[in-house]
Amino acid sequence: MSFTYEFPRPSVTIDAVVFGVNQELELELLLIKRRDDPFKDCWALPGGFVNVADTVPQGESLEAAAYRELREETGIKVDYLEQLYTFGEPGRDPRGRIISVAYFALVRSKDHTAIGGDDAKEAAWMSFKALPKLAFDHHKIISMALERLRSKIRYQPIGLNLLPEKFTISQLRKLYEAILGYKINHGNFRRQILPKNRPNFIKPVRTLREKSNRTGPPAQIYFFDKLLYENAVAKGFDFKLNCRKISQ
């Protein structure tokens, strides 16, 4: 049996905020150039309408739509998308009452080549420091996604997966600075990353040290012991990182 409704029904879209970290440990954002109106030729987040149907199973899930639109418009497949927020302010889309559910992810840019497809003329990684003017309310969506990301890296070591297998503490600090948007106090950061009062899941590689152009000894190289971290979390370990700004 089918049903009809007295009240108008809005359309539902998804938007994908995919942050990237490049080889210089700088923050980037995945954008597409729109092929069609509205906002033709403007840069925007990858996204589109959720496929629906009047028959069971009534189309696709929100998450499935997010992965599909990202793949169709940019050629990129990610392992994980996290739901961010629902944006439904009246007038946010000139085509009508459209509610968008946003998702976000953090990846290594070099592992994901962007190629425009479907209704995207282009797809590209862009420096977060020089983003173009964006379509719809996508600046608002990106701002909220960035705040969520900045909060998340303070209680989960998600950034460690973006570094080379072997890295220096300076590289790790540079990654956090790129995401947080400010310079971090070196000593404070090192003490929190390499504390003396708990088993450390960031371990030194004792046989290798990074060459350096600076005077003095070369920097120590470390690796992330993921198994040790997961075991510590299972026993109740709570990762917290308070990245103090450098005093002005």
Known catalytic residues?
122
In angstroms, the CA 47 to CA 67 distance is 9
Q: Is 97:10 a contact under the CB 8 Å cutoff?
A: yes
Residue 143 Ramachandran class (φ > 0 left, ψ -120 to 50 alpha, else beta): alpha
Rounded to 5 degrees, what are φ and ψ at 65?
Answer: -65, -40
CA distance 232 to 157: 13
- For residue 6, with 0-12 CB atoms within 10 Å meaning exposed, 13-18 middle and 19 or more buried, which class applies? exposed
Per the structure block, which two tokens stand in for 211? 């060459």
Q: Within 10 A of 64 (CB to CB), how many other CB atoms are there?
A: 13
Sequence-ordered list of residues with C-beta below 8 angstroms from that of 56, at least 6 positions apart, any chain: none
The Cα–Cα gap between 92 and 141 comes to 12
